Amino acid sequence: MAVAVCDKLEAMPHRKLRIVRLSPIALALCEHCNGQFHSRKRLQEDAKAELVEQFDIHQCQRQDTDQTDAPRYASQESD
């Protein structure tokens, strides 16, 4: 995978693309902002390339949540 060098590198948040699956519909996530990317390409290499392209052009919109917005799980409800 090629890494692009940019003059605005200091202003860019630390982001990482995580590919969840490549078939039947490819799905990837931005680990910084939880943005989702999809591809319906049949070939896995084509799907991966499309996911990377979508990731490269997206602008992270990180949404910070506090504890009141967090989902409650069974272990939390017993308190």
Quick one: pLDDT at residue 73? 44
pLDDT at 1: 40
> What local confidence, expressed as pLDDT, does residue 15 receive?
86
Contact 29, 18 (CB under 8 A): yes
Phi, psi of 75 (to 5 degrees): -70, -25
**What's the rounded Cα separation, in Å, for the pair 44 and 50?**
10
Nearest Cα to 39, choosing from 29, 28, 47? 47
What sign does the dihedral 65-71-76-79 (CA atoms) show? Answer: positive
Which pLDDT does position 64 carry in this prediction?
59
Per-residue model confidence as pLDDT tens digits over 21-75: 998 999 999 999 999 999 999 999 999 999 999 999 999 886 655 444 444 444 4
Q: Which residue has the higher pLDDT, 41 or 10?
A: 41
